[in-house]
A = this chain, B = another copy of it.
Amino acid sequence: MTRSELFSQIQQKSSFLCVGLDPDLEKIPRHLLSEPDPIFSFCKAIIEETADFAVAYKPNIAFFEALGAKGWETLAKVAEFIPKDIFTIADAKRGDIGNTSKLYAKAFFESMNFDSVTVAPYMGKDSVSPFLEFDNKWVILLALTSNPGSMDFQLIEDKAGKPLYQSVLEKSQEWGSPENLMYVVGATRGELIGKVRVLAPDHFFLVPGVGVQGGSLSEVAQFGMNSSCGLLVNSSRGIIYASSEKDFAQAARREAEKLQLEMKDLLEKYL
C-alpha cells in the first residue's frame, strides 16, 4: 500500500485507528474454544466488526508463534482475511544481518502479503535495508517505545546530547523515505512525540500505548499529527477484550467506534 492510499483511507473513514490483534487462548471468550481454529474465529469476528473504523490491523506475531506451526497457519489465514484496502502490520520486531533479514522480509511480504513489518534498529543499516527493497512495503522501525525498558538505552545521550532514539531517527532517514519507512513512537510521553515529529516531519508514526498502556489520544494528535495525518494509533486489549462473553465482537465494535469518533474530531481539529 502506498502512503497516499493510506491517507485516502484515513480521510474516508475519518480514523487513524490500528487494531492490535493479540489473540490469547486464555483470554478469548470460552465459547470459541470448541471451534476448529478458535484464534482464527476470534480474529475473524473482531475484524468483521471493526473494519468500518480501523485503517490498519496489527497481528502481534508472538501470539501466533507461541502456538507453533498451527499458529503460523492461523496467522496466514488472518492476514488473508483482512480486507485488502486496510493496512496490515506484522508486529514481529525482527532485525538480523542482511541475508537473514531478507528471509524475514520474504516471509511477511511475499508468503503472507503484509504491508509492513516492525523492525528493531540495533544491528543498523544492513539489518533494516533488506525490508526496504520491496515495492509498496514498509518498515516500521522502533524509535522510542512506550515500555519502562525504553529508558534503559533509547534515551542515552551521546557527546552532543543527542539521545539514541534521535540517532536512530536521523540515520534511518538515509535508508528509507516517508514512502516506505514509519516509526514506532510511544504514546506515554506526549511531549516527546512532538520532539520526534520535528525530527521526522513527514513519516507516519505507529503509536502503541493508547488505552491499557495509558497514553492520551488527544495529546498524541496535538503533538504528532502532520498534514497527511502521519499517525496510526494502536489499541489492542481495550478493543479485542472489551467483553469476554458472546458479544465480544459487538463490544469490540463499540470500543473501536468510540475511538474513531474521537479521532474524527481530532482530524477535524488538527489536519
Tell me the A residues contacting B by CB distance below 8 Å.
22, 60, 62-63, 65-66, 68-73, 76, 91, 93-101, 103-104, 106-107, 111-112, 120-128, 142, 145, 147-154, 156-159, 161, 164, 167-168, 171
Contact = CB atoms under 8 A, between A and B. Distances in A.
| Tally of this chain's copies | 2
Contacts of A147: 97-98, 123-124, 126-127
A76 B67 CA distance: 12
A148 B129 CA distance: 12
Contact of A104 (B65, B107, B123, B167): B65
B125 A152 contact: yes
A66 B153 CA distance: 31
Given A124-B147, A124-B151, A153-B167, 9 more contacts: A22-B99, A65-B104, A68-B73, A120-B123, A121-B122, A122-B154, A123-B142, A157-B158, A158-B159
Given A73-B69, A153-B168, A126 B111 contact: no
What 6 A-B pairs are tightest by C-beta distance, nearest first? A124-B149, A124-B152, A69-B72, A62-B103, A126-B149, A69-B73
